[in-house]
Chains A and B, each alone.
Chain A
């Protein structure tokens, strides 16, 4: 046995709560209110799963000033550790931390099982879809999805047509954005099949939590998040070119000025592989090498954290200073593996998203385990008409954007904003989709005026090599502004540690 940890809350709170649940929830939650939304911790009725009840009751025993003190300690540590992302304004680049909320988001074993299976199913379908559209194109011939939507998609990559990739895996690293509606039902909001980011925060948040809230986590049956780096490295080794017995893996980053550089460093360290930039790589005879102090050394698998168009100035954007000339041809010849594959952007497109339930049924013959949000495609006349008629009830999103940029939340927009957006929509309808506003679930969050309900989402990360593995939990992002539904870090979002209970 190790020494007992710091114990400010009453250790007997768990058993007490079983006797008197109504009293136990007071404390810092005394003024907590969650009108109309599903609460991740309190639910809305008394049917709180036991695992959550323990967390809630322990939390109730903290006092606010103590929580605030720990929060400021956490933020100082994040700065010092350089766990930052960079925000670019017109004139300068500012290093910011992703605000960290001390109150964890908790998922029960049952909830996680559902998400785990659902994400695996979805990744399987995405990979089958990608293989199909770059080879036989059955799905187009069978009329499941309009050919124009796929072949005319700006993210459809002609260079991938007919190219076999190891294990037929295209999406090795996937992030699925999930939200919960007012009944607590999980729904997929979008797929991130290009270069999803945020996994480093999942792991760093856990470290922070165990350092600063040992008394909250003590004795909880938490699923570990430590394995990610190891699994990622294994995944990349599994999909390296088959002729190589001891593959050299690298992480390819745009460099220190990229907003996600911290994460690139984190993952390279967790995998124990070099972090390379374009200038560190060279292609000779369609093989990729890195420049080392001992000369050129071969590279077999590249976890690339830059978008397709910057990878190779010979194949795509000739102005890219970040890329490696000849990389795409080396890849097409099977001498090196890129993760994710080229051209996966067509699968996580917001318009293709609308067809995912049909694609899952088509490829797997199964019903989707995770629901999708009803989506109207403005490229289609009915979709456009519906969207125009219901603007004030819908969320309207440009299909090509990420990071929460350029979207309109109808219910929160002024008449002028609605009018302006209508004009943009009519100008280029195929650039937009619309969805009903989902009442995102909330989670108790430490705010300036006390513990209040704030909206959250969840991004689980899935790795696919020979098999698919989903990191237990994922990134819980929280919209720190009261009432806000936008959780993106670039738009004032923060994050929470996500606890998956083993039982």
Chain B
């Protein structure tokens, strides 16, 4: 106690004061931005490389990997046309999986966590969201889908860069990272799944020239082509590509690397912020999930069913997200949002 009776604001004594709601918003901010970036990648690769049996772009496959067939059917007629798919995934605000809707949700979460995030982050998000709100179908046609997707990717990457460079490192940052790595883990499984849906009936992965081109496209869409080349200079085989995307430990979007990041983020929360009790069950869950990836070769995964394994991973990540919610923000839900992890 000081002589004058002057009281000073709480400092170190209150390390654990991250509001639950902030934790949740930070996590979803990262997830939505990561998801937008991935959707842009998937749209781009579909236009360029994914083909139906008759050679037309396989727009249906996007609906399948995102489990959006039903919602799409309520808005547009099937089979999917390019024009409708682009409207559905880019400008349709009533579709929660559109880029416009997700940009809105990212901003609403950022607005909710505005007291914590940097002004630079907020400003960049405002500009990005505004440009997504103003986007019209003619704009897409005029500038080309590829140009638009590139711009969106770049805006998302700018967001991640600004965040990395300006966000204060405390629990809020760790929840942000948790969201980002969980989303990346989920998204890489969907990107791999895109190939599953264009396989011929029978489900075998073939080594045809067409097939290889498409696997190359998947690699490019994940910005993985060059890294893959450095490791596998001789040939692209489907097993090599899938193995790289799932198990490589140096590629920033691989499943393995992101599961490890989820784990280390949980470790940091546990030890630096005295959240051992809360993090224990979550750590156990992620370790088990990682073990399923470590204990199988990629050939084993493919022969047991690649799509089934991707679905299993998505379910497990969904369960982990649900447990994070119950653990850290048990009562009050923040904002209405879609359930994200249920491919059924």
The verdict on A172 contacting chain B, using a C-beta distance below 8 Å, is: no
Most buried by A among B7, B8, B22, B127: B7
CB proximity to A under 8 Å, residues B9-49: 9-11, 13-14, 16-23
Q: On chain A, which size bracket covers the interface? A: 20 to 34
Closest Cβ neighbor of B328 among chain A residues: A293
Report the minimum CB–CB distance from A180 to chain B (whole Å).
Answer: 35
A80 touches B123 (CB 8 A): yes
A274 touches B22 (CB 8 A): yes
What is the CA–CA distance of A290 and B273 in the complex, to the nearest angstrom?
17
The verdict on B316 contacting chain A, using a C-beta distance below 8 Å, is: no
Q: Of the 9-residue stretches B86-94, B107-115, B209-217, which lies at the interface with chain A?
A: B107-115
CB proximity to A under 8 Å, residues B57-113: 108, 111-112
Report the minimum CB–CB distance from B334 to chain A (whole Å).
Answer: 9
Residues on B with C-beta less than 8 A from A275 are 114-115
B13 touches A292 (CB 8 A): no
With A81-B122, A256-B108, A279-B21 in contact, is A293–B9 under 8 Å at CB? no
The verdict on A65 contacting chain B, using a C-beta distance below 8 Å, is: no
A280 touches B10 (CB 8 A): no
Interface size on B, residues (CB 8 A): 39
A245 touches B123 (CB 8 A): no
Q: Which of B108, B114, B275 contacts A293 (CB 8 A)?
A: B275
Closest Cβ neighbor of B175 among chain A residues: A293
CB proximity to A under 8 Å, residues B115-164: 115, 119, 122-123, 126-127, 130
B9 touches A294 (CB 8 A): no
Residues on A with C-beta less than 8 A from B171 are 293
The verdict on A105 contacting chain B, using a C-beta distance below 8 Å, is: no
The verdict on B329 contacting chain A, using a C-beta distance below 8 Å, is: yes
Residues on B with C-beta less than 8 A from A333 are none
Closest Cβ neighbor of B16 among chain A residues: A294
Report the minimum CB–CB distance from A339 to chain B (whole Å).
Answer: 15
A residues at B contact (CB < 8 Å): 79-82, 233-234, 237-238, 240, 244-249, 256, 261, 265, 268-269, 272-277, 279-280, 290-294, 297
Report the minimum CB–CB distance from A213 to chain B (whole Å).
Answer: 20
Residues on A with C-beta less than 8 A from B273 are 293-294
B275 touches A79 (CB 8 A): no
Q: Which of A247, A248, A274, A293 contacts B329 (CB 8 A)?
A: A293
The verdict on B278 contacting chain A, using a C-beta distance below 8 Å, is: yes
Report the minimum CB–CB distance from B22 to chain A (whole Å).
Answer: 7
Contact with A along B153-185 (1 / 0, CB 8 A): 000000000000000000100010000000000
Most buried by A among B1, B14, B274, B275: B14
The verdict on B331 contacting chain A, using a C-beta distance below 8 Å, is: yes
What is the CA–CA distance of A274 and B25 in the complex, to the nearest angstrom?
14
B328 touches A268 (CB 8 A): no
The verdict on B332 contacting chain A, using a C-beta distance below 8 Å, is: yes
B126 touches A297 (CB 8 A): no
Closest Cβ neighbor of A233 among chain B residues: B9
Residues on B with C-beta less than 8 A from A294 are 16, 18, 273-275, 278
Most buried by A among B1, B20, B122: B20
Report the minimum CB–CB distance from A169 to chain B (whole Å).
Answer: 15
Closest Cβ neighbor of A297 among chain B residues: B17
- Could you show 10 A-B contacts with beta carbons less than 8 Å apart? A248-B17, A256-B112, A274-B115, A280-B20, A280-B332, A291-B330, A292-B18, A293-B16, A293-B171, A293-B273
Report the minimum CB–CB distance from A485 to chain B (whole Å).
Answer: 34
Residues on B with C-beta less than 8 A from A245 are 1, 7
With A280-B20, A292-B16, A294-B274 in contact, is A79–B329 under 8 Å at CB? no
A248 touches B10 (CB 8 A): yes
Residues on A with C-beta less than 8 A from B112 are 256
Residues on B with C-beta less than 8 A from A276 are 19
B7 touches A240 (CB 8 A): yes
